[in-house]
Amino acid sequence: MSKKIFSGVQPSGNLHLGNYLGAIKNFVELQNGKNTDCIYCIVDLHAITVKQDPKELKKSIRETLAAFIASGLDSKKSIIFNQSAVSAHSEGAWILSCIARMGWLNRMTQFKEKAGKDKEKASIGLYAYPVLMAADILLYDTTHVPVGDDQKQHLELCRDIAQRFNNDFGISNFLKVPEPLIQKNFSRIMSLKDGTKKMSKSDPSDFSRINLMDNKDKIINKIKKAKTDTLPMPNENEDLKNRTEVLNLLVIFSSLSNQSIEKSINEFSGKNFSIFKEKLANLLIEKIEPISKEINKLLNDQKHLDGILHEGSEKANEFASKKIKEMKKIMGF
Ligand code: AQP
């Protein structure tokens, strides 16, 4: 059976190594797999759940697209578009928000984390975010959604919404209930300054992350300054207990070199941290610098980038608008 994949990335700032290793690298592998149709969406409607500067948002949309293409996504093989260009996403979100229950949304931990202490001041959009995500997925009859552990709960909610819609209107399997696609060897990449926090676009410190647009000097500098500890490099997994920053650097090294963490531990066991950091910086330069150069090249041709989005949104719209029409018919509109 062929798979239909949907996934999205928010254009909410600089894409970083976490986005690359946790999502985009996998998108490329899925795109190049057999019997798989992939839809990759720049989820700009999700980005506005927190305040965005309009000029910056426009720039981020193009940068996200450029990062996709520079990393190996191909608009001839995958549908690549931005969410706001296909109005069915907003329409679907409203319809599904009348299906989803407050009790379901109240359980979402990401809202609690993102809204922080001041929930009253969070936008309604931030609260309803998982419903928009459900619309994104369900509009395309998606069969599989690549998810990290942070999105598992939202995908469960999407499945509940699909089942409830089908039950309420007595049409089994109209909204396809998607399955999670758990990435092999998935690891959350953590901040370079604090191994307990994930690497994130919204971290105020640029030294907490490697951006896909960082040049060689920046990468070297950031790895030099990355937090470690006074103990020697580990000899075995056991030695990594309570050493989240060291573990994170080893995870990055292992993911980039497609090798197990055990192999990386063996490679550097008993060596000086400076030797490991130098190797890590070189590996990052080898993998990230070509992407960074390609992003910059692509950004010089905005017309080309806008053309890709336009073409992608037309293809997405063809599918999504048909689904929304059927949905409305079922509901009596
Ligand atoms: N640190 C990470 N490690 C592994 N995967 C990560 N992803 C994000 N950070 C890491 C994965 O990247 C995809 C796109 O994420 P997103 O941009 O839609 O939103 P996010 O997860 O909220 O990413 P950020 O960088 O943390 O953004 P802000 O700071 O704006 O909230 C997802 O598949 C995500 O799992």
Query: pLDDT by residue (tens digit) across 53-93?
Result: 999 999 999 999 999 999 999 999 999 999 999 999 999 99
Q: Give the pLDDT score at 324.
A: 98
Find the mean pLDDT for residues 89-107: 98
User: How far apart are alpha carbons 189 and 90 in whole angstroms?
Assistant: 31
Does ligand 1 come within 6 angstroms of the Cβ of 284?
A: no
Q: Please name every residue paired with 181 in a beta bridge, in sequence order, or none if there are none.
A: 146
- At residue 41 the predicted structure's pLDDT band, cuts being 50, 70 and 90, is very high
- At residue 94 the predicted structure's pLDDT band, cuts being 50, 70 and 90, is very high
In this predicted structure, the answer to whether residue 13 has a pLDDT above a threshold of 90 is no
Find the mean pLDDT for residues 257-261: 92
Does ligand 1 come within 6 angstroms of the Cβ of 19?
A: yes
Residue nearest to atom 33 of ligand 1 (CA): 23
Does ligand 1 come within 6 angstroms of the Cβ of 180?
A: no
Query: pLDDT by residue (tens digit) across 264-282?
Result: 999 999 888 999 999 999 9
Q: Is 41 within 8 Å of 81 (Cβ atoms)?
A: yes
Q: Give the pLDDT score at 246.
A: 96
In this predicted structure, the answer to whether residue 236 has a pLDDT above a threshold of 80 is yes
Q: Please name every residue paired with 80 in a beta bridge, in sequence order, or none if there are none.
A: 40
Options 2.30.30.40, 1.10.1740.10, 1.10.1660.10, 1.10.240.10; CATH of 206-298: 1.10.240.10
Q: Give the pLDDT score at 326.
A: 98
The b-or-e profile of 245-255 (16+ CB within 10 A means b, else e) is bbbbbbbbbbb
Is the entire prediction scored with pTM above 0.85?
yes
CB count in 10 Å sphere of residue 157: 20
Ligand 1 closest atom vs CA 198: 1
Higher per-residue pLDDT: 258 or 135: 135
Does ligand 1 come within 6 angstroms of the Cβ of 9?
A: yes
Q: Give the pLDDT score at 194.
A: 96
Residue nearest to atom 23 of ligand 1 (CA): 200
Active site residues: 114, 198, 201
Domain definitions of the chain by residue range: 3-187+302-331, 206-298
Q: Give the pLDDT score at 293.
A: 95
CA of 166 to the centre of ligand 1 (A): 31
Does ligand 1 come within 6 angstroms of the Cβ of 209?
A: no
CA of 18 to the centre of ligand 1 (A): 7
Does ligand 1 come within 6 angstroms of the Cβ of 264?
A: no
Does ligand 1 come within 6 angstroms of the Cβ of 185?
A: no
Find the mean pLDDT for residues 119-141: 97
Residue nearest to atom 14 of ligand 1 (CA): 9
Q: Give the pLDDT score at 301.
A: 97
Residue nearest to atom 19 of ligand 1 (CA): 10
Does ligand 1 come within 6 angstroms of the Cβ of 62?
A: no
Q: For residue 172, what are the CA distances in angstroms to 131, 166, 177?
A: 20, 5, 10
CB count in 10 Å sphere of residue 310: 12
CA of 14 to the centre of ligand 1 (A): 11
Q: Give the pLDDT score at 137.
A: 98
Residues contacting 2, CB < 8 A, separation 6+: 35, 36, 37
- When the pLDDT of each residue in the chain is averaged and rounded to a whole number, the result is 95
CA of 10 to the centre of ligand 1 (A): 8
Residue 105 burial (10 A CB sphere; 0-12, 13-18, 19+): middle
CA of 270 to the centre of ligand 1 (A): 34
Ligand 1 closest atom vs CA 203: 29
Does ligand 1 come within 6 angstroms of the Cβ of 189?
A: yes
Find the mean pLDDT for residues 13-31: 93
Ligand 1 closest atom vs CA 186: 4
> Which residue is it, tokens 């970083």?
16
- At residue 117 the predicted structure's pLDDT band, cuts being 50, 70 and 90, is confident
Kindly report the CATH number that applies to the domain delimited by 3-187+302-331: 3.40.50.620
Query: pLDDT by residue (tens digit) across 175-195?
Result: 999 999 987 767 789 999 999
Q: Give the pLDDT score at 168.
A: 98
CA of 172 to the centre of ligand 1 (A): 34
Percent of the chain at pLDDT above 90?
Answer: 88
In this predicted structure, the answer to whether residue 151 has a pLDDT above a threshold of 90 is no
